[in-house]
Amino acid sequence: MASVDLQNEQSGIEFVEQSVQKWGRSPSALIPILQDIQQQYRYLPEQLLTHAATALELPPASVYGVATFYAQFSLDPKGKYLIKVCDGTACHVRKSMPVYEAIRKRVRLVDGKSTTEDMQYTVETVSCLGACGLAPVVTINDKVYGQMTPDAITAIIDMLEQQEGEV
Amino acid sequence: MIQSPAELQNLRDRYAKGMAQQKAGILVCAGTGCVASGSLEVHAALEHALKEQGLHTSVQLLLEEESTGGVTAVKSGCHGFCEMGPLVRIDPEGVLYTKVKPVDAADIVAALDNGEPVERLLYRHPATQQVFVKESDIPFYKHQTRVALANCGHIDPNDIAAYIAKDGYQGAANALSRPPQDVVDNVLEANLRGRGGGGFPAGRKWSIAASVDADQKYIICNGDEGDPGAFMDRSVMEGDPHRIIEGMLIAGYAIGASQGYIYVRAEYPLAVERLRQALSDAEAWGLLGDNILGTGFSFALHVKEGAGAFVCGEESALIASIEGERGMPRPKPPFPAVAGLWNKPTIINNVETLANVPDILRRGVDWFKNSGTPSSPGTKTFALTGEVANTGLIEVPMGLTVRDVVYTIGGGIRKQMAFKAVQIGGPSGGCLTEEHLDLPLDYDSLQQVGAMIGSGGLVVMNEETCIVEVARFFMEFTQNESCGKCVLCREGTRRMKEILQRIVDGQGAESDLGLLEEVGESVQAGSLCGLGKTAPNPVLTTLQYFEEEYLAHVRDKRCPAGVCPGLKTFAIAAEDCVGCSKCARVCPVDAISGKVKEPFVIDREACIKCGACVDACKFGAVVEVA
């Protein structure tokens, strides 16, 4: 498990406390609380997992079990741009894998890694985004791009980087 | 606050008249597909154009007495014809505009006055070039019967008044005025079968839960639509959320539950947002909460977001997930209808099943049984995708043939290629071939050929699709999603995936085919839940119907569709290559090199055989060699 120091651990613990206030202390509150943490930090920092376990009086192992079971949760930090390539059946049949390879090449990901060294990009595949009519589909930070080709997605990433440069 | 069924009826009439008095209702599709194609920009441009023309506009439906005869321009749910998006529908005429861009807004608004639709935006049939003005005349829509999807694309999902104007909550009003047992009997008699895949009669589940004595019962709507290639539940939740609330309200009343959960997949943020809005509106209007419509019945609903696990579509795993645990199935019995959520009697129905309930109560059992087949009455939604001309979401009477769906509604295979197979029911289903084109699509006919309706994903494949690779794809999916509880599912799916990987890599042997069958049958026999019981289906059906293609892979080391990377080698034909360097630029592993204006060459060692160069070359110079 990655153990990245939170810039301000105290604020993280306060965040968990607020979430616990919102959802309550029953075991069924665990998943919503983890979802809050995931949304805020874009991963589940180890310290906050432990804190959630203490707050709900659950064994840390159970919390870890839930955190690793569901695909929505990540124990590793994600890049600034989270690129999801849909590899559901419809997208697969309409050739989503060449699109995936093109993205990996464009952001220079090698050796099976999914996040770039500079933490700019994380590239993943997902089972189905439910936009099968527009296959193949890619989302970048939840914005949906339909009917993608290797060329089209490369151009979109070019544009993103251009916008980055302007900021 | 609506306090009685009579008051609801009165409101319905006043809103329906308000709707009829409008000059026009513009419905811009804001389903996930059209939003991706830019429909929100189209909506903004239309609002702007309406303002410029000085037309009276409102953002929601008005009552008869408030109506100004103006225009509403609203964002609707999915119209279904995603391929042609962004879609804009003009009511009351039902004109459908396709592939609309923001620049078209002024012309669309001008057309409201002069009565002449904007011809360039109308749907043109690709083969016959015939132009269609009305949505209902387009072949894609003409052969559909919409019940669950009736309002999708026809109303603003965020406007409860629009749902009420379309007879919304009338089914609930009807149910609440009768004894609960009557409602259960109605659904039982209608023989409404579970639309999530299993086809178990919803009424049977309801009567079990209704007969159990308990201080608390629950009703859960299963919106964990995990099948890759299916998006009907998403469309109903996004496009007509009140229909689901009404269905749950009726179910809750029938079994005596005062609490309900809508479990929505994590990947559907828009559905969550629309459902939350709908819940709070229904509460504000007195259609949820205490003493609904003055009948004394109280019912509360909650939205629960899933966290991304396919197995949570299984009833007991879904319950475990709501309780805050890992989503692992439990042995049955006891069935959830007896001991479910927190050990209380719980009914879990799929989104589409519940979406059918309001109409059964409002229009009656006989009306419902009018469509479909005797053993599978009603309609079914299908997500028609893959290599078919018209992709999108459809709803047809049960019992229509595969041919009707793929050719009449779907417009045939893209790029005039040959039909090869249709994969039905996602990772639990099977592949149907040309010989099944006249097979009726209903629960029992499909089961007889080893497939299942599943949630209704229909992925059409053409001659360029490799069946073995698709089988490997599904096995990889189920292996990944196996929760790990049952050894045969956990280990068996992994071994099956490995064998299939070996075959597509060109390392397979003839004996592998028998082995796949043996392992597949063991996984089916030794798994607790539906995931494992059905996981081998895509492999077993393709082994049965496409044995030749498997044999070509293992015996002749050849992939007839030309897909499997391990079985092909690429080369550049020097005489056709102009040296434009396009192939070298698209190559993801930099395996192509050469000088501009001279023939390029592929380094066979470095090549990963992805085929990007073949698609990129405009001169057909990259060829597959044996």
Full DSSP string of A75-116: SS---SEEEEEE-SHHHHHTT-HHHHHHHHHHTT--TT-SB-
Residue B599: its H or E element: none
Which residues of chain A lie closer than 8 angstroms to B386, CB-CB?
89-90, 93-94, 135
Per DSSP (E only), the strands in B12-149 are: 24-29, 57-58, 71-76, 88-91, 95-97, 123-124, 131-132
User: Is residue A44 located within the same domain as residue A115?
Assistant: no
Per-residue pLDDT, B569: 80
Q: Is the CB of residue B598 less than 8 Å from the CB of residue B621?
A: no
Residues in chain B: 626
CA dist list (Å): B75 to B63, B239, B469: 19, 10, 40
User: Is residue A45 located within the same domain as residue A90?
Assistant: no
Q: Is the CB of residue B171 less than 8 Å from the CB of residue B362?
A: yes
Chain B closest-CA separation from residue A7 CA (Å): 27
Cross-chain Cβ contact B324/A28 below 8 Å: yes
Query: Which of A22-26, A59-63, B195-199 has the weakest average pLDDT?
Result: B195-199
User: Is residue A159 located within the same domain as residue A134?
Assistant: yes
Task: Look at residues A45, A69, A93 and tell me which one is the last residue of a structural domain.
Answer: A69
Q: Does the pLDDT at position B134 exceed 80?
A: yes
d(CA B155, CA B76): 6
Residue whose pair of structure tokens reads 């609904």 in the numeric block: B292
Which residues of chain A lie closer than 8 angstroms to B307, CB-CB?
31, 34-35, 70-73
Q: Is the CB of residue B477 less than 8 Å from the CB of residue B228?
A: yes
User: Is residue A57 located within the same domain as residue A98?
Assistant: no
**Strand, coil or helix: A167:** coil
Chain A closest-CA separation from residue B173 CA (Å): 33
Considering the domain boundaries, does residue A55 fall inside one? yes
Return the residue of B nearest to A139 by Cα: B36
Which residues of chain A lie closer than 8 angstroms to B322, CB-CB?
28
A165 Cβ under 8 Å from any chain B Cβ: no
Residue whose pair of structure tokens reads 């079971």 in the numeric block: A69
Residue B396 forms beta bridges with which residues? B380
- For the stretch A49-97, pLDDT in tens is 999 999 999 999 999 999 999 999 999 999 999 999 999 888 988 889 9
Per-residue pLDDT, A6: 54
Return the residue of A nearest to B325 by Cα: A66
DSSP letter for each residue of B168-237: TTHHHHHHHTS-HHHHHHHHHHHT-B-TTTT--BHHHHHHHHHHS--S--EEEEEE---STT--HHHHHH
Cross-chain Cβ contact B229/A133 below 8 Å: no
Give the pLDDT mean for B369-383.
95
Q: Does the pLDDT at position B495 exceed 50?
A: yes
Cross-chain Cβ contact A146/B36 below 8 Å: yes
Q: Is B129 left (phi over 0), alpha (psi -120 to 50) or beta?
A: left
Residue whose C-alpha is closest to residue A84's, from A34, A143, A134: A143
A-proximal residues of B, 107-146, CB under 8 Å: none
Which residues of chain A lie closer than 8 angstroms to B481, CB-CB?
127
Per-residue pLDDT, B455: 83
Considering the domain boundaries, does residue A13 fall inside one? yes
B-proximal residues of A, 57-86, CB under 8 Å: 62, 65-66, 69-73
d(CA B310, CA B307): 10
Report the number of distinct structural domains present in chain A. 2
Residue A159: its H or E element: helix A150-166
Domain, as residue range, for A39? 9-69
d(CA A146, CA A137): 5
Q: Is the CB of residue A69 less than 8 Å from the CB of residue A31?
A: no
Q: Structural domains in chain B?
A: 5-161 (3.40.30.10), 167-369 (3.40.50.11540), 379-462 (3.10.20.600), 467-554 (1.20.1440.230), 568-625 (3.30.70.20)
d(CA B401, CA B346): 35
Chain A closest-CA separation from residue B220 CA (Å): 15
List, as own/partner pairs, every contact residues B339-343 make where C-beta atoms lie below 8 angstroms and the sequence separation is at least 24, other chains included. B340/B218, B340/B220, B340/B315, B340/B316, B341/B218, B341/B220, B341/B261, B342/B216, B342/B218
Give the pLDDT mean for B23-47.
92
Which residues of chain B lie closer than 8 angstroms to A26, CB-CB?
324
d(CA A139, CA B182): 47
Which residues of chain A lie closer than 8 angstroms to B140, CB-CB?
none
- For the stretch B331-357, pLDDT in tens is 989 999 999 999 999 999 999 999 999
Which strands sit side by side in the sheet containing A81-86, from one edge to the other? Answer: A121-126, A81-86, A138-140, A143-145
Q: Does the pLDDT at position A1 exceed 50?
A: no
Both tokens of residue B90? 């003009």
Which residues of chain B lie closer than 8 angstroms to A97, CB-CB?
610
Phi, psi of B602 (to 5 degrees): -105, 130
Residue whose pair of structure tokens reads 């008051």 in the numeric block: B7
Which residues of chain A lie closer than 8 angstroms to B267, CB-CB?
126, 128-130
Task: Look at residues A20, A35, A69 and tell me which one is the last residue of a structural domain.
Answer: A69
What percent of chain B clears pLDDT 90, i.e. is strictly above it? 79
CA dist list (Å): B247 to B219, B316, B398: 10, 21, 21
Both tokens of residue B562? 């030309």
User: Is residue A63 located within the same domain as residue A85?
Assistant: no
Average pLDDT of every residue of chain B: 93
Write the burial class of residue B273 (CB in 10 Å: 0-12 exposed, 13-18 middle, 19+ buried).
Answer: middle
Q: Is the CB of residue B472 less than 8 Å from the CB of residue B512?
A: no
Considering the domain boundaries, does residue A2 fall inside one? no
User: Is residue A37 located within the same domain as residue A90?
Assistant: no
Q: Please tell me what DSSP assigns to residue A5.
A: P
Both tokens of residue B418? 């040959």
Residues in chain A: 167
A-proximal residues of B, 585-604, CB under 8 Å: 586, 588-589
d(CA B344, CA A93): 43
Distance between first and last Cα of chain A:
33
Residue whose pair of structure tokens reads 């149907």 in the numeric block: B432
d(CA B153, CA B162): 12
Q: Does the pLDDT at position A28 exceed 50?
A: yes
User: Is residue A65 located within the same domain as residue A91?
Assistant: no
Return the residue of B nearest to A67 by Cα: B326
**Strand, coil or helix: B58:** strand
Cross-chain Cβ contact B612/A101 below 8 Å: yes
Q: Does the pLDDT at position B31 exceed 80?
A: yes
CATH label of the domain that carries residue A46? 1.10.10
Residue whose pair of structure tokens reads 């629950």 in the numeric block: B218
B67 Cβ under 8 Å from any chain A Cβ: no
Both tokens of residue B264? 């929505």
Give the pLDDT mean for B114-133.
92
| Dihedral in degrees, nearest 10, Cα atoms B309, B310, B312, B314 | -170
Which residues of chain A lie closer than 8 angstroms to B226, CB-CB?
127-128
User: Is residue A103 located within the same domain as residue A52?
Assistant: no
User: Is residue A107 located within the same domain as residue A155?
Assistant: yes
DSSP letter for each residue of B455-479: T-EEEEEETTS-HHHHHHHHHHHHH
Return the residue of A nearest to B326 by Cα: A66
Q: Is B524 left (phi over 0), alpha (psi -120 to 50) or beta?
A: alpha
**Strand, coil or helix: B102:** helix
User: Is residue A85 located within the same domain as residue A162?
Assistant: yes
Query: Which of A45-54, B32-41, B61-70, B473-482 has the weakest average pLDDT?
Result: B61-70
Phi, psi of B10 (to 5 degrees): -60, -45
Cross-chain Cβ contact A134/B392 below 8 Å: no
Q: Is the CB of residue B432 less than 8 Å from the CB of residue B454?
A: no
Q: Does the pLDDT at position B451 exceed 80?
A: yes
**Strand, coil or helix: A3:** coil
User: Is residue A45 located within the same domain as residue A24?
Assistant: yes
d(CA B106, CA B102): 9
Q: Please tell me what DSSP assigns to residue B256.
A: T
DSSP letter for each residue of A108-139: T--TT-SB-TTSSEEEEEES--S-GGG-S-EE
Which residues of chain B lie closer than 8 angstroms to A145, CB-CB?
36
Considering the domain boundaries, does residue A108 fall inside one? yes
Task: Work out the pLDDT band at A131, boundaries 50, 70, 90.
Answer: confident
Give the pLDDT mean for B256-274.
93
Task: Work out the pLDDT band at A137, boundaries 50, 70, 90.
Answer: very high
Task: Look at residues A25, A40, A69 and tell me which one is the last residue of a structural domain.
Answer: A69
Q: Is the CB of residue B307 less than 8 Å from the CB of residue A72?
A: yes
Nearest CB to B305; choose among A35, A130, A146: A35
Residue whose pair of structure tokens reads 């410029």 in the numeric block: B52
Per-residue pLDDT, A8: 65
Both tokens of residue B427? 């990772």
User: Is residue A59 located within the same domain as residue A97?
Assistant: no
Q: Which residue has the higher pLDDT, B205 or B126?
A: B205
Task: Work out the pLDDT band at B626, boundaries 50, 70, 90.
Answer: low
- For the stretch B147-160, pLDDT in tens is 999 999 999 999 99
Chain A closest-CA separation from residue B230 CA (Å): 6
B-proximal residues of A, 5-64, CB under 8 Å: 26-32, 34-35, 62
Q: Is the CB of residue B535 less than 8 Å from the CB of residue B489?
A: yes
Residue whose C-alpha is closest to residue B148's, from B310, B368, B400: B368
Cross-chain Cβ contact B324/A73 below 8 Å: no
Cis check for the bond before B117: say yes or no (omega within 30 of 0).
Answer: no
Range among A125-139, B53-67, B362-376 rated most confident: B362-376
Nearest CB to B588; choose among A73, A104, A151: A104
Write the burial class of residue B579 (CB in 10 Å: 0-12 exposed, 13-18 middle, 19+ buried).
Answer: middle
Chain A closest-CA separation from residue B458 CA (Å): 9
d(CA B153, CA B103): 22
- For the stretch B56-106, pLDDT in tens is 788 788 888 887 788 999 999 999 998 898 999 999 999 999 999 999 999
Considering the domain boundaries, does residue A132 fall inside one? yes
Q: Is the CB of residue B376 less than 8 Å from the CB of residue B193?
A: yes
CATH label of the domain that carries residue A106? 3.40.30.10
What percent of chain B clears pLDDT 70, i.e. is strictly above it? 100
Per-residue pLDDT, A2: 41
Cross-chain Cβ contact A89/B269 below 8 Å: no
CA dist list (Å): B401 to A108, B142, B397, B439, B445: 48, 16, 10, 5, 10
Considering the domain boundaries, does residue A25 fall inside one? yes
Chain A closest-CA separation from residue B481 CA (Å): 10
ipTM of the complex: 0.89
Considering the domain boundaries, does residue A49 fall inside one? yes
Considering the domain boundaries, does residue A75 fall inside one? no
B230 Cβ under 8 Å from any chain A Cβ: yes
Per-residue pLDDT, A5: 52
Chain pair A-B, CB pairs under 8 angstroms: 162
Residue whose pair of structure tokens reads 């209903």 in the numeric block: B442
Q: What distance separates the 2 farthest-apart alpha carbons in chain A?
A: 51
